[in-house]
Amino acid sequence: NDAAVQIMTIHKAKGLEFDVVILPSLGKITGRDSAPLLSWIERPQQPAATQLLMSPIHSANERNEVYGYLRQLDRERQQQEQKRILYVACTRAKNTLHLLGHAPTNTKGQLNPRAGTLLHDLWPAVRDIFESQHPKNLKIPELSSLEPTEIAPRALWRRCSADVARSLSVLDDVPTVAERQIDIRPAYLWAGQQVREIGRLVHRWLMDLSRLDCALSEGVTSDEIIEVANHRVSQLALNETDKPTAVETVITAVTHAIQDKRFQWLIDSSHTDAHSEYALTGWLNDQWVNVVIDRTFVDTRGVRWIVDYKTSQHLGGELNTFLDQEQQRYRPQLDRYARLIQLKEPGRAICCGLYFPLLNAWKEWPVTKSQGASSASLSKGQ
């Protein structure tokens, strides 16, 4: 089976499972970023505002405490991200996990993996295993005690015998490029950094539109959308070559939303108890969970709606099939939101929906009453 062994990065393995997983070179230091010219951190002050702290790089002979503080926060964030990636890698194995790595010894002869390596993060859990396989008191013979061995010289070049030579006619059966079936698939947008940045920007923009009256949001012109999209995309952490595509995607999503009667209904001012980016905390399945709901409100019938915005794209046919798959993919997430709402509003009818501005599409379903949660607390929403 050609697929019996697969070699891939940890990022690519996310969401997959394998019978056996082998993680090599855990003792090597991962790549480190050089000091940026400008360092900053943005922290939410409340759901609708943020605090920004920034500092430029200092010269070699200067000391900038703000810059040092920001770099320290960035290093701590990278360390936590490395641990998260390591967790993803280890949990890909269904049956067997092999951890391969090396660790130098310190002055006391003890194994001591270098800081910044994946093995260093794993060390509290695997120290005993590694030390049990490390040979103790290994003596390396001195060079003077080794007996010299004569190695007979041999020719560096040899001519192949006639019976070994093969004709190049065997290559006639190799299919040409035109004869091969080349699998050309669209690059799914939800796979990379670009899509995550676009998704955050579209969510933020839809939240801003929800604060306006429907008539005001409909009055936004295409020139205004283009101007704001270019400005906001320019602030994203994207390569310059990716920004034109990002601008086009954002413009499409926002334009569709403004022109879509479904979205106008989602932000209609006639709804009661309406919130965007609504934060909830609750006790579910014996643990505390924190969620943020993109949009929620109570319609004129008294039904609570829980809506999640999705910037997914679908380039093929069978849109309804795609929407069914997206519902199956995200239903557990929205059902969990509904369970938290049920704790706050017992007995209320609840419906969930997925809104796709890039597709002008909508998928909804009712939620049945759920048991199993004991308490919940609500943070201030918008």
Q: Which of 82, 107, 132 is the last residue before a domain boundary?
A: 132
My answer on whether 24 and 127 are in the same domain is: yes
- The CATH number linked to 300 is 3.90.320.10
Whole domain around residue 298: which residue ranges? 272-378
Q: Is residue 84 part of a domain?
A: yes
8, pLDDT greater than 70: yes
Predicted confidence band of residue 185 (pLDDT cuts 50, 70, 90): very low
Q: Is residue 346 part of a domain?
A: yes
Reference 30, options 104, 111, 115, 110; nearest CA is 115
My answer on whether 251 and 299 are in the same domain is: no
My answer on whether 297 and 218 are in the same domain is: no
Q: Is residue 59 part of a domain?
A: no
Q: Is residue 174 part of a domain?
A: no
My answer on whether 25 and 105 are in the same domain is: yes
Quick one: pLDDT at residue 58? 65
Q: Which of 260, 295, 317 is the last residue before a domain boundary?
A: 260
My answer on whether 113 and 28 are in the same domain is: yes
My answer on whether 307 and 244 are in the same domain is: no
253, pLDDT greater than 60: yes
Give the residue with greater pLDDT, 378 vs 363: 363
The rounded distance, in Å, linking the Cα atoms of 231 and 251 is 12
Q: Is residue 158 part of a domain?
A: no
Quick one: pLDDT at residue 176? 44
Predicted confidence band of residue 22 (pLDDT cuts 50, 70, 90): very high
My answer on whether 337 and 296 are in the same domain is: yes
My answer on whether 236 and 319 are in the same domain is: no
- The CATH number linked to 91 is 3.30.160
Quick one: pLDDT at residue 171? 42
Predicted confidence band of residue 379 (pLDDT cuts 50, 70, 90): very low
Q: How many domains does the chain have?
A: 3
My answer on whether 291 and 361 are in the same domain is: yes
91, pLDDT greater than 60: yes
My answer on whether 124 and 16 are in the same domain is: yes
My answer on whether 252 and 338 are in the same domain is: no
Q: Is residue 222 part of a domain?
A: yes
Q: Which of 132, 160, 179 is the last residue before a domain boundary?
A: 132
pLDDT tens-digit series, residues 327-372: 999 999 999 999 999 988 988 999 999 999 999 999 999 998 654 3
Q: Is residue 139 part of a domain?
A: no
Q: Is residue 187 part of a domain?
A: no
Q: Tell me the pLDDT of the chain averaged across its residues.
A: 77
My answer on whether 331 and 278 are in the same domain is: yes
